[in-house]
Structure 1
Amino acid sequence: MNRPMMTTCIRLHPADDVVIARAQLLGGSRVEQVSVRGLIPPGHKIAMRAIAQGEPVRRYNQIIGFASRPIAAGEHVHTHNLDMGPDKGRFERDYAFGADVKPAPARRQASFMGIRRADGRVATRNYLAVLTSVNCSATVARAIADHFSRHTNPQALAAFANVDGVIALTHGSGCGMDQQGLGMQLLTRTLTGYARHPNCAGVLLVGLGCEANQISRWLATGQLVEGENLRSFNIQEQGGTRRAIDQGVALIEAMLPRANAVQREPCSAAHITIGLQCGGSDGYSGISANPALGAAVDLLVAHGGSAILSETPEVYGAEHLLTRRAVKPEVGRKLVERIKWWEHYTAIHQGEMNNNPSPGNKAGGLTTILEKSLGAVAKGGTSNLEAVYEYAEPVTQHGLVYMDTPGYDPVSATGQVAGGANLICFTTGRGSAYGCAPSPSLKLATNSALWQRQQEDMDINCGEIIDGQTTIAAMGQRIFEQVLATASGAQTKSEQHGYGQNEFVPWQVGAVM
């Protein structure tokens, strides 16, 4: 699909049972010789044929749900007449491992102005980070970072123009948990990924002293070695809050001259790893911003770069489109294993996978998780699926990869950055307010109404595709060029607003003890 058919509605595939309204439609208007029944909001679905109760309903030529009652031609198709069916979306899917794998694209060359670290890794930003072992040390960590705020204390970094800032990445966990359990493993893996991230020139670890997540254990588990750019202390050992803040400020001040001694230089686009996110989705997400981002991903992969597709609850029902592109059967099987884990995980918490679409998603025209997922996977373009990783695992494989994360955007992106993403691309149809640190986040609007309403938060308007002003391929090229510019230091809208520190949210699982 390059450009959807432009009328009052959008038909994505000849076999689809529904079309998508480009603008609000009134009852009695005509769509493909069908008379519309009642008011249809923009981005919502209209039935193009009579559908019997229990019949599957198709969009993208894929099943998005089953009619929960008879649906007449021209009727609004949404939560009142479409659901997951009696098996809750667990109908048979043809995983066809590797069936759609294609030859590697011809290698292309593009560069950006990056920061090359001593070990050869390349950064897109240059921060000093204060990480906490436990929620109890969050206040001290934030006070240390606040001392260096360019808003409240502009002189603190006045002599260090090459340092993007000092950030405090705090969280609400680290104690009251099994020291050997999955929750602790995920937390340690996440914190270690940030401590090692190339966008962090130096890192200070701040603990309380008596928590379950002891810094000494964290260092050993993550194979981290203290040195001039990695320091740590516990508040209790420093003698309290004020002394701990003073010690932290002094340690950061010692790191600043080294962090500042960098300059950007031309680096291959192969050093870019994008975390792919979509949040506050709408009926246009799978038509405009997501496939356009997918086109940009295909370009990045052709240049040797990497992209991390995630949000397992938001590929549910579309995972078979990814397994067909898996380069090895075991890659596809690992993705299916994670899907099964999520079915079990939601069931034991008395939920189901269809709990994922939010009220905002539904107001924007999405009805079931199957429909949302089919649009979400478009962010991965058409590239082969090279590997599947668990949450916050280091991503070592180039190309398109998958990381198992929740669908909740801050938690998902946190795992991606821990895995090595040095840039985030975030599509939204409802206007999600989000930013990421230490990796910059580009926001892609799915529709022009959102762009006009919330330009101060959006970086690119993909709604031009819906308006018929450009193609998916052309928008993909524009996104790719903006990725290169952002990786080279151009500030995103979210960075201008100061987003990023509060959006660090490691995934919490397991009992709170």
Structure 2
Amino acid sequence: MTVGRPLALRLHPEDDVAIATRDLEAGAQVPGLQGATLRTPLPSGHKVAVRDVAQGQPVRRYGQIIGFATQAIQPGEHVHTHNLAMGAFERDYAFGVEARIPGRPAKQATFNGIVRRDGRVATRNYIGVVSTVNCSATVTKMVVEHFQRADALTAYPNVDGVVPITHSFGCCIDHHGEGIQQLRRTIGGYVRHANFAGVVVIGLGCEANQMGALFMAQGIEARDTCVPLVIQDLGGTRKTADAAIAAIERMLPAANAYRRQPVPASHLTVALQCGGSDGYSGITANPALGAAVDLLVAHGGTAILSETPEIYGAEHLLTRRAASPEVGQQIVDLIHWWEGYAEREKGSIDNNPTPGNKAGGLTTILEKSLGAVAKSGSTALMGVYRYAEPIDSRGLVFMDAPGYDPMGATGQIASGANLVAFTTGRGSCFGSKPAPSIKLATNTRMFNRMQDDMDVNCGDILEGLTTVEEKGREIFERMLAVASGEKSKSEQLGVGSEETVPWMIGAQM
């Protein structure tokens, strides 16, 4: 920590709390406490009250309500789950009053992308093996294992690999219901993904998610680069694996013919994710990613914010940036749906944050959401999409999803994201295929501990060594580098083959 850096940060003049910048002992003199001292030890990233808060009164961080005092709180007290809880309050949605369309920069940023024959641009050149149902997952992995041999792809240096896309669903669900429609939309998004030069789709044969119905619903056509195989029709596991291997071997020469070339940054579609968040997420990595998003949008690119429960309590910050009242109302409607869903399931949206989030200093979903929304930057919200729905807007958009990171990222990739930017404070080891994932650490301590997993350290913002804007530029440049083929840390580790988790809705029967 830089010498002279304050022991705690008060982020807004209206805030009732300050955030510890390091582990603090009882009795520490914290600026802003008006002569009071810490009453108990305070872990790094946690909150200390800077003024009296009466029982039942709101507590603010970022100038926004993060909860309500469950007992009287005095200056110098630790503010956390023992004295802060959720409560209802009115939000001012003010549709569009802060919508901002950035001007284009004089010089267009570029990256070395892979231009498909239909004009779409990829950041990786994979061949995919996609399961329609869990029952075909083992065959899918057998096929991929064949191409993981040391010499299997030596003759095809421009092919980044053969990737399995498996999941745990596909059967025992209403054949015509919303659940199977959403699963097909997700699988269809992967089959059509620009990062796949070719795809083999493997089904069992008797599942609810029938191959023919999947292809018809998603407008997918069988061809040389999209081969459907059904295990029961082909005579079993080994014969299907052999047929898939043969199909991929026929695809490899054409896939290898692709070469990277300079393309505008407008061809980047970046999934925004945060996981294993802590008390610094909303101070360092998320605002820095937001600054990178502003740059991306200015260059004509697209960023997908997601995880609806993790904008709960901060949705009014997005509605104020809505490009139209209709877009703003769609956000409000999603929030109401999730409120009803939690009530029907006898749950609470405040079950998120996780135990790890709380250990890192976050107390309520309101506090977590306010930090999470910072990933979206400051530009106008151009559209709201269903889970795994193809994105047809440029700029910042929102996609509905639960707050489970792999599930949200799966939907974003199915929607067309060709890159993932993932902030973490506790140390998430997430990776994704076929879209590479860049990991952004919120604090230096964790970054140093987990350097094999982390791509960018945003902790130096807290230490006064750089600014949010400078770090945003660094993140944007890293996006361009990884999109150009530089391997992210998760790719170097081989992470990403087990992280496809579709959001399965509807009754399982």
State the 1:25 CA deviation. Answer: 1.0
How far, CA to CA, are the matches of 2:89 and 2:49 in structure 1?
Answer: 22
From 339, 358, 376, the equivalent of 1:343 is 339
Per the TM alignment, residue 49 of structure 1 is displaced from its structure 2 partner at its CA by 0.7
CA distance in structure 2 between the aligned counterparts of 1:243 and 1:486, rounded to whole angstroms? 38
AA at the equivalent of 1:293: L
RMSD of Structure 2 on Structure 1 (CA): 0.9
TM-score using structure 1 length: 0.97
Q: Within 5 A, what are the aligned runs for 1:86-125?
A: 90-108=88-106, 109-125=108-124
> 1:44-443 alignment to 2 at 5 Å?
44-85=46-87, 90-108=88-106, 109-149=108-148, 153-443=149-439
The counterpart of 2:464, out of the listed 463, 468, 486, is: 468
CA contact (8 A) 2:100 2:378 kept: no
Gaps spanning 5+ residues in structure 1: where? none
Q: Distance in 2 between matches of 1:142 and 1:344?
A: 39
Q: Secondary structure at the match of 1:233?
A: strand
Contact 1:54–1:66 (8 Å) recurs in 2: yes
Identity of aligned residues (%): 59
Structure 1 Cα separation of the partners of residues 15 and 90 of structure 2: 19
Could you list the per-position Cα deviations for residues 71-98 of structure 1 after superposition, in whole angstroms to 9, with x for gaps in the alignment?
A: 111000000000003xxxx421100000
How far is 1:231 from its partner? 0.3
CA distance in 2, matches of 1:448, 1:191: 38
Q: Secondary structure at the match of 1:313?
A: helix
For 2:504 and 2:143, locate their aligned partners in 1 and report how far apart those are by CA, in whole Å: 25
Cα offset, 1:105, TM superposition: 2.0
Q: Which moved more, 1:26-35 or 1:165-174?
A: 26-35
- The total of aligned residue pairs comes to 502
Tell me the TM-score normalized by structure 2. Answer: 0.98
Give the residue type in structure 1 aligned to 2:77.
E
SS in 2 for 1:31: coil
Q: What SS does structure 2 have at the residue aligned with 1:206?
A: strand
What is the CA-CA distance between 1:154 and the residue it aligns to? 1.1
Q: 1:102, CA displacement in angstroms? A: 2.4
Q: Do the aligned partners of 1:107 and 1:304 also contact (CA within 8 Å) in 2?
A: no
Q: For residues 352 and 103 of structure 1, what CA distance do their matches in structure 2 show? A: 36
Distance in 2, Cα, partners of 1:162 & 1:347:
51
C-alpha distance in structure 1 between counterparts of 2:99 and 2:489, whole Å:
37
Q: Over residues 336-372 of structure 1, what are the superposed CA-to-partner deviations in whole Å (9 max), with x where a residue is unaligned? A: 1111111111111110110110000000000000000
Instruction: Give distance in 1, aligned partners of 2:484 and 2:152.
Output: 25
The separation in 2 between residues aligned to 1:6 and 1:348, in whole angstroms, is 47
> 1:108-130: CA deviations, max 9, x gaps?
51100000001111000000001
Whole-angstrom distance in 1 between the partners of 2:62 and 2:118: 45
CA distance in 2, matches of 1:205, 1:313: 32
Cα distance in 1 for residues equivalent to 2:21 and 2:376: 24
CA distance in 2, matches of 1:492, 1:22: 29
Q: 2-side partners of 1:343 and 1:164: how far apart?
A: 43
Instruction: Quote the offset at 1:390 in angstroms.
Output: 0.7
Paired residue type of 2:23: Q
1:481 to 2:477 alignment: yes
State the Cα deviation string for residues 313-343 of structure 1 (Å, max 9, x = none).
Answer: 1000000000000010000000111111111
Distance in 2 between residues matched to 1:119 and 1:58, nearest whole Å: 50
**Cα deviation, residue 104, structure 1:** 3.3
Secondary structure of 1:424 counterpart: strand
| Counterpart Cα distance in 2 of 1:308 and 1:103 | 16
- Separation of aligned partners in 2, 1:387 and 1:103: 13
- Report if the CA contact (8 A) 1:190-1:418 is conserved: yes
Paired with 1:451 and 1:254, the residues of 2 have a C-alpha distance of 43
Q: SS of 1:188's equivalent?
A: helix
- 2:102–2:297: 8 Å Cα contact kept in structure 1? no
How far apart, in 1, do the equivalents of 2:52 and 2:99 lie?
37
**Counterpart residue identity of residue 135, structure 1:** N
Q: What SS does the corresponding residue of 2:222 show, helix, strand or coil? A: coil
Report if aligned partners of 2:59, 2:66 keep a CA contact under 8 Å in 1.
yes
Paired amino acid for 1:301 = V
